[in-house]
Structure formats: C-alpha cells, structure tokens
C-alpha cells in the first residue's frame, strides 16, 4: 500500500511520526512524499492551541479529498475527534497514541489486497519521507505522558500519565538511529527529567544519560524539554551526566511565567526563584550553556505586574531561545473554565515579549562573534548553505556544504536573533573522542 505520512507538533510527535513511517516501511508499505496517488494517509496531529487544532481539521479535510483511506493519530484523537466532520469521516480510523504500533497491520487488514509487496515495484519509485527534517536528525521518544498537573495543558490529557520506555530499549533506539546515519539524536518526551519516575526506586534520567552516552556511534545527543519541577530533585546528577562530549550543553527549561502568582495558578509546581537557581547552577557548571525557555502570555488572571515580572525575568536570564505562546483555552482543562483576558490585552503582551525576544536574543548571541571552535554539520540549507551546531547546540549558518555529520572548524562572524553566521576556519581543532 502506498502511504503518505504528515506530522505536526513537538519533537515528541515528530519522533512518533518518524517511528510510524519506519514501521510502515518495515511492514512492506511504500512511503510516498505527496498525498496524490496514495492509498492511505496518516495524519499525526497536534492540538496544542486552538489555531493548531483548526489547522489539523483543514489538513484532514484536504487529505480526505485526495486519499481514499485515512488514519488520524496524535493529540487530537482522544478528545477532539468530534471536530472531524464531513465525507471523509467514514473513511477515517482514529488510533490512540499508545496504539500507534498497530497502524501498519491495520492498513494491511483494511485492504486485504494490499499485503506486503502487493504494490510490487512501483513504476515510479516512492520517495521515502520519514520526517520533515533530513534523516541526519532523529527523535527518540523516551516516555509517554507526564507526571505534572499543569491545569492548562492539553498534552497531559491527550497522552495520559507517565510511562517511561525502559533504559535498554532507549539505548537500542539511540544505537539504531546512529547506525542509520543520524548525526543528532534528540531524546524527547513531555518532560525528559521525569523519565523513570513511574518506577519508584528505579533508574532516573542521569542513569539513562550515562548509558546512552556509551552507545557506539559518532552523533551527538540533545536532551529535550524538561520541567523545572522534575529537574529540581536530580539537578546535580543531571549536570554531572551532561558533562560528556556525547551531549549538547543545551537546556530546554520552560518557565512559562515570571510571576509566582501565575505559576501557582497554572499549577506548575515550582517558583520563579527555583527556576532562576536552576539556570544559575547550570550556567555555573557550563558557562557556554544554551538555554531555551518558553513563556505563556495572557493566562487568565494575569495582571500588568505579572507581565512585568515575566519581562524582568527574561531580561535577567537572557535565554538564547525564547518561545512565546499566547494562552489558548483547551477544552477539558481546568484553565478553560477561568475567565479569559481580553484578546487585545493578551495580544499586546505577546507583542511586547516578542520584541523583548528580538533584543535579548541578539544580545546573547553577539557575544559569540569571533569564537573559533568545532561544530557538527546537521543540515544542508538553501543556496549551498549548511547548518552546523556548536557543542552547546547553537546553530551556525555556513556558506558552504560540508558533508552531513562532518565535524568542522568554524569561525563565527555574525549573529542574528536565533542563529550565528560563520565560515569554515583554517586551523584544526582537537575533537573530543566518542565511544
Ligand atoms: S504533546 Fe503538545 S505540542 Fe506535542 S503534538 Fe501533542 S499537543 Fe502538540
């Protein structure tokens, strides 16, 4: 069967979409790069905010016009399938996230004529599309669900309580990704610092890092988003484990608000001060650490003072990456029952933070101008350019295209808000050895 896979959302969803695509290929399905001519389509959906959800509905309708059979999985499925109305509904199967491994067999069952190899050698060789990104980057999902209780979060409702992938299985997945040629593996879940907490007394994230840090291969590993609430108890061991050449010195720690009052209202489970202390400890250990954080603007009840506290926190921390999202009430969450702020207020505050992001992002990145050192090439870009990552994950755009995976010496010559501009440097550098 010719199958088209389209994935949206976070690194976790991207990883799950890629895993579905690989499983389909392993089962003998042909992956195609466009919906036209596909026998079946898989929409790996995201429902993080209202506008994303509306986009999922539009994509489902558009795919339904081109593809006879659809599977919808991802975060839309448990709670929002009522939005999918129209002629394609009868031709759509909804698959919960934790049952995604059934999708290849389900497609075979649905069309008895289309067993493995039923399409034979296609006249036009299908283009395998495992991910929207090049295969040099692979996500490895380390857990499903979450232990936190943030009262605005739809992902928690969609994905349920924490279920960690066993340590040996994560190590196997990382090894396979390197073996397939990945130069960057992203360990991902809703909260990576919570990994293992569903098995009291068992291994925790630093143990996992020590194990995957020994997996043979030449790629680098990025540890994905984690909540300050889960990081707190394991911070010293986590920083210790991160101090290995196998890992990017990168920390994605969403603060969501600089106001304790709003953090309480969100039920985030940590204070502004705790977040600041964690960032300070991480930067003390790794002065070149790349910090990425997220902020939700316009949470119900947020005052001008709360907003100012958030802006002040951003000015103080100066993260390399700041993701700003306007609060969007998600059905079924407790926060959806709170009286919303006027849209124009939320819009104004979101604009103020976006402007602040421009200022602080540039300021933080400009200090890298003049830096010389090693970087790993992870993507080829337009017009002969490439993206190489410094050991702390900062991207350097190069005007040339060294081989994907190559580690090259770079000289940083400029900074934009979210990336650096550089050239290949002449002098050789000593690269840390890998297992
Ligand atoms: S976990 Fe959140 S961001 Fe990721 S796909 Fe689900 S709704 Fe979207």
| Residue-level pLDDT, tens digit, the chain, 435 residues | 999 999 999 999 999 999 999 999 999 999 999 999 999 999 999 999 999 999 999 999 999 999 999 999 999 998 899 999 999 999 999 999 999 999 999 998 754 333 333 333 232 232 334 444 446 889 999 999 999 999 999 888 899 999 999 999 999 999 999 998 898 999 999 999 999 999 988 999 999 999 999 999 888 999 999 999 999 999 999 999 999 999 999 999 999 999 999 999 999 999 999 999 999 999 999 999 999 999 999 999 999 999 999 999 999 999 999 999 999 999 999 999 999 999 999 999 999 999 999 988 888 899 999 999 999 998 899 999 999 999 999 999 999 999 988 889 999 999 998 999 999 997 666 555 555
Query: Is 43 close to ligand 1, i.e. is its CB under 6 Å away?
Result: no
Judge if 162 and 270 occupy the same domain. Answer: yes
Q: Are residues 361 and 381 in the same domain?
A: no
> Residue 7: which residues within 8 A CB-CB, separation 6 or more?
13, 14, 16, 17, 18, 44, 74, 131, 132
Do 379 and 355 have their domain in common? no
> Rounded CA gap, 242 and 397, in Å?
25
Q: How many angstroms separate the alpha carbon of residue 192 from the centre of ligand 1? A: 14
**Domain identity same for 342 and 380:** no
Same domain, 362 and 381: no
CA of 165 to the centre of ligand 1 (A): 18
Whose tokens are 């069967």? That residue is: 1
In a domain, 201, yes or no: yes
User: Residue 354 falls within a domain, yes or no?
Assistant: yes
390 lines ligand 1 (CB under 6 A): no
From 321, 345, 366, the end of a domain falls on: 366
- Say what the pTM is: 0.90
The residue out of 110, 125, 149 marking a domain boundary is 110
Same domain assignment for residues 334 and 185? yes
> Is 230 touching ligand 1 by the criterion CB < 6 Å?
no
Domain residues for the domain of 11 are 2-110
Residues 346 and 294 in one domain: yes
Handedness of CA 207, 213, 219, 223 (dihedral sign): positive
Same domain, 332 and 200: yes
Of the three residues 319, 343, 366, the one that is the final residue of a domain is 366
Q: Is 401 part of a structural domain of the chain?
A: yes
- 118 lies in a domain? no
Give domain status of residue 125, yes or no: no
Q: Does any domain span residue 189?
A: yes
- Cβ–ligand 1 distance for 143 under 6 Å, the answer no
Q: The CATH number of the domain where 47 resides is what?
A: 3.40.50.2300
Give the residue, out of 152, 155, 252, 331, with the most ligand 1 atoms within 8 A of its beta carbon, to mutate for a pocket test.
155
Determine whether the shortest distance from the Cβ of 150 to ligand 1 is under 6 A: no
Q: What is the CATH number of the domain that holds 386?
A: 2.40.50.140
Provide the domain count of the chain. 3
- 3-state class percentages of the chain: helix first, strand second, coil last, to nearest 5: 40, 20, 40
Q: Decide if 313 is inside a domain.
A: yes
Q: Would you say the CB of residue 11 lies under 6 angstroms from ligand 1?
A: no
d(CA 410, CA 424): 4
Instruction: Please report the atom of ligand 1 found closest to the CA of residue 52.
Output: 8
- CA dist 107 and 329 (Å) reads 35
């Amino acid at each position: 069967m010719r199958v088209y896979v389209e994935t949206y959302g976070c690194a976790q969803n991207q990883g799950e979409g890629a895993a579905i695509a690989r499983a389909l290929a392993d089962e003998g399905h042909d992956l195609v790069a466009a919906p036209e001519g596909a026998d079946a389509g898989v929409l790996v959906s995201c429902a993080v905010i209202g506008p994303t959800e509306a986009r999922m509905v539009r994509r489902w309708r558009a795919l339904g016009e081109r593809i006879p059979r659809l599977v919808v999985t991802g975060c839309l499925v448990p709670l929002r399938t009522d939005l999918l109305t129209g002629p394609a509904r009868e031709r759509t199967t909804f698959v919960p996230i934790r049952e995604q491994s059934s999708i290849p067999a389900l497609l075979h069952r649905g069309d008895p004529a289309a067993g493995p190899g039923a399409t034979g050698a296609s006249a036009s060789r299908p283009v395998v599309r495992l991910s929207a990104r090049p295969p040099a980057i692979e996500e490895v999902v380390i857990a499903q669900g979450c232990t936190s209780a943030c009262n605005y979060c739809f992902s928690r409702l969609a994905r349920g309580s924490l279920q960690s992938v066993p340590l040996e299985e994560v190590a196997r997945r990382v090894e396979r990704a390197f073996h397939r040629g990945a130069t960057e593996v992203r360990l991902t879940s809703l909260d990576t610092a919570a990994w293992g907490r569903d098995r009291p007394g068992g291994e925790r994230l630093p143990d996992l890092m020590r194990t995957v840090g020994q997996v043979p291969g030449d790629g680098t590993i990025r540890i994905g988003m984690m909540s300050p609430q889960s990081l707190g108890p394991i911070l010293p061991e986590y920083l210790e484990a991160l101090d290995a050449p196998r890992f990017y010195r990168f920390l994605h720690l969403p603060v969501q608000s600089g106001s304790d009052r709003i953090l309480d209202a969100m039920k985030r489970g940590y204070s502004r001060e705790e977040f600041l202390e964690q960032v300070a400890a991480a930067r003390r250990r790794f002065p070149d650490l790349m910090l990425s954080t997220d902020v939700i603007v316009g949470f119900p009840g947020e005052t001008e003072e709360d907003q100012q506290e958030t802006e002040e926190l951003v000015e103080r921390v100066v993260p390399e990456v700041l993701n700003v999202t306007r609060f969007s009430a998600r059905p079924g969450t407790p926060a959806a029952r709170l009286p919303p702020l006027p849209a124009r207020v939320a819009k104004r505050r979101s604009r103020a933070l976006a402007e602040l992001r421009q200022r602080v992002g540039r300021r933080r990145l400009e200090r890298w101008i003049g830096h010389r050192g090693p970087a790993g090439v992870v993507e080829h870009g337009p017009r002969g350019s490439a993206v190489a990552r410094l050991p702390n994950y900062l991207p350097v755009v190069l005007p040339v295209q060294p081989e994907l995976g190559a580690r090259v010496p770079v000289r940083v010559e400029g900074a934009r808000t979210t990336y650096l501009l550089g050239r290949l440097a002449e002098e050789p550098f000593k690269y840390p050895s890998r297992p």
